[in-house]
Structure 1
Amino acid sequence: MKMASNGALQTIVVPRTRDLGDGFEVRRALPTTQRRMVGPFVFLDQMGPHRFEAGTGLDVRPHPHIGLATVTFLYDGEIMHRDSLGTAQPIRPGDVNWMTAGQGIVHSERSTKEVRHNASSLFGLQCWVALPRKHEDTAPSFSHFKADELPRMEGDGIMATIIAGSFFSRTSPVPTLSDMFYVDVLMQPGARMTIAPEYEEQAVYVVQGSIDLGNDGVFDAGHLLVIRPRQILTVKAGNASVRFMLLGGEPMDGPRGVVWNFVSSSQDRLEQAKQDWEAGRFPDLPGETERIPLPDDLPGKPVFYP
């Protein structure tokens, strides 16, 4: 990662890659040392692209969350989401799963038996959106929207889908709780796009291909590019199509602490969540008996940021 010295970019992040086993890799773009949040986005992982052999698949055992909303968006593959509200919802490319943890929820993410029958692939992004203080302990909820339910902007070689929040004068039906945006953009070769400063904090995550930002440079897939406040960014696709995610929003209403899967503005609340998970006080996930234990190496005190 590095700081951009001039131009429209404020910070350039090259995510670190982690192998979760069997060659399944994730790239973590947020949080990093130099950039912890963009608007309410406190966590951004790229999953894959990965090819599972027949008989194998994704197995993220039941685990808890508080104080955040998760948003899962796939480009390839399928994941079965189950949670302690009783939800059992497959997510497929172009759909969006939005889970508001609030005061506490438990969920798992797995490949189904049907998907495991044959070799399969998986590629997508998963984010955590920190909730405003007044909504941190809201009742948990889950929403799912199919691809054709999300608003789009099309023309001049560009297709932009508003996954969550508002951008390009369009608003997603996803029930967000803060001023934010999350937009999937696909550009054909040679296309140009101007990204206006609609929010104080805005960023681009390059998913596939490369984008040309003029004097700021050319950036390949796997870069998170944080735009300077109130700057207009012009993006050009080269000789191949490019796909990227726009994300951000207004600054949060104060610092946030992150401990394991928990996000909160209160250190006491984070400590309580840890104790509750160890003591079995989170709600059960129907039909599942496994769970991810609380890690032994968690810090004694969370670091609050920004």
Structure 2
Amino acid sequence: MSFFPAKDPAPGDAFACDALAQLIVPRTSDIGGLAVRRALPSARRRMVGPFVFLDEMGPAEFKAGEGLDVRPHPHIGLATVTYLFEGEIFHRDSLGTAQAIRPGAVNWMSAGSGIAHSERTAPDHRHGHEPLHGLQCWVALPAADEESAPAFMHHDADALPIEVAEGKTVRIVAGTLFGRTSPLKTASDTLFADVMLEAGAKLPLDAAAEERAVYLVSGEVDIAGDRFAAGRLLVFRPGDRITVTATMAARLAILGGAAMDGPRYIWWNFVSSRKDRIEAAKADWKAGRFATVPGESEVIPLPE
């Protein structure tokens, strides 16, 4: 998805839990009738593991004839990760990929040296009452892979491992959790999981991942006596074993992995370890040197 202008996330309320490094409250923007909450990047936290960008889209319900319409736009130096709770998005890219994504599945597009893509609601899903709710993340590529060939991966919901036990249902989208490993191939150590908890259920999180965070989508959780409501990104300190307890039915995303090999610069839809590479990408998009998306005639112009 294109990096639209939005207000920066804000620091959260004070908390007593020593396990938390940051509590981030996303700022909400309305983009064409779609509420979007941005949790990363923030002034206080630029990355969690390789994750440099985290948006929650919706929940929303489109009127008849309406839907998501993100025109073709470029990316470099990152992988986009799209995961839905409700609805459907149709992805097209300059590799010729045409792929619908539905709840529980994952679209992973590695931009590498450069790719363009669009994200839309398909015509047969514009009859009204079409829901949309999900997460879109960007994962920075290691410096050695920033100029790799672009690629696209899709895994259906039934291809991703699920752990069901003691009131929790955990779908492992990327990485390894509870002894289960996702088939998704990532360029660096990456953890991403969708978790549903019944009231009273406990979710233990060990310190295997170097950097870890939880984004609370719905419900409320307790961590060491502090309670946290939906719409919060909880970034944990490294090395501590954490237990998250649902005080009511809750849904959350676990994200993290190995710390990045240095800082990343973000400008619009471009991510790189080098400022000059971003300047080159800006010039390439403006001059029309990116590959085009088949079946698309419009693009999002370079911001001025």
263, 280, 292: which is aligned to 2:271?
263
- Do the aligned partners of 2:221 and 2:244 also contact (CA within 8 Å) in 1? yes
2:123 aligned with 1:123: no
Q: Show the counterpart of 2:27.
A: 16
Q: Secondary structure at the match of 1:292?
A: coil
The Cα shift of 1:237 comes to 1.2
Distance 1:72 1:41 in 2: 13
Instruction: Give the match for residue 300 of structure 1.
Output: none
State the partner residue of 2:296: 288
Return the letter of the residue paired with 1:258: I
Segments of 5+ residues of structure 1 without an aligned counterpart are: 297-306
How much does 1:192 deviate?
1.1
> Residue 250 of structure 1: CA displacement?
1.0
Q: CA deviation at 1:4?
A: 5.0
Residue in structure 2 matched with residue 253 of structure 1 by the alignment? 261
In structure 2, the partner of 1:236 is 245
* Shift in alpha-carbon separation, 1:9–1:118, aligned structure 2, 3 A: same
AA of the residue aligned to 2:243: T
Letter in 1 for 2:119: E
Residue in 2 that maps onto 1:179: 189
Give, in whole Å, the separation in 2 of the partners of 1:153 and 1:88: 30
Deviations 1:205-239 (CA, angstroms, capped at 9, x unpaired): 00111111132x1111110000011111111112x
- Counterpart of 1:221 (choices 226, 230, 238) is 230
What secondary structure is seen at the aligned counterpart in 1 of 2:283?
Answer: helix
Determine the structure 2 residue equivalent to 1:111.
Answer: 121
Q: Does 1:169 align with 2:179?
A: yes
The change in CA–CA distance for 1:275 and 1:222 in structure 2 (over 3 A counts) is: same
Give the distance between the partners of 2:195 and 2:77, measured in 1 at CA: 28
What's 1:303 paired with? Answer: none
Work out the CA distance in 1 between the residues paired with 2:197 and 2:221.
Answer: 10
User: Identity percentage over the alignment?
Assistant: 57
> Are the counterparts in 2 of residues 4 and 11 from structure 1 also a CA contact under 8 Å?
no
TM-score, normalised relative to structure 1: 0.94
Is 1:43 the counterpart of 2:58? The answer is no
The residue matched to 2:282 in structure 1 has which SS?
Answer: helix
Aligned partners of 1:158 and 1:140: how far apart in 2?
Answer: 36
Matched, 1:152 2:162: yes
**Counterpart in 1 of 2:6?**
none
Q: 1:5 offset after TM fit, Å?
A: 5.7
The correspondence of residues 50-69 of structure 1 with structure 2, limited to 5 A, is 50-69=60-79
- Report SS of the residue matched to 1:197: coil
Aligned residues: 293
* Alpha-carbon offset, residue 168 of structure 1: 2.2
Structure 2 counterpart SS, 1:98: strand
Cα-Cα RMSD:
1.1
Deviation at 1:87, TM superposition (A): 0.6
Contact 1:55 1:119 in 2 (8 A): no
- Secondary structure at 1:148's aligned position in 2? helix
Could you tell me which amino acid in structure 2 is paired with residue 220 of structure 1? A
* Mapped contact 2:211–2:256 kept (Cα < 8 A): yes
One-letter code of the match for 1:270?
I
State the SS of the aligned residue for 1:19. Answer: strand
Secondary structure of 2:243's counterpart equals strand
TM-score, normalising length: structure 2: 0.94
Aligned to 1:301: none
Unaligned runs of 5+ in 2: 1-10
Offset, 1:167: 2.2
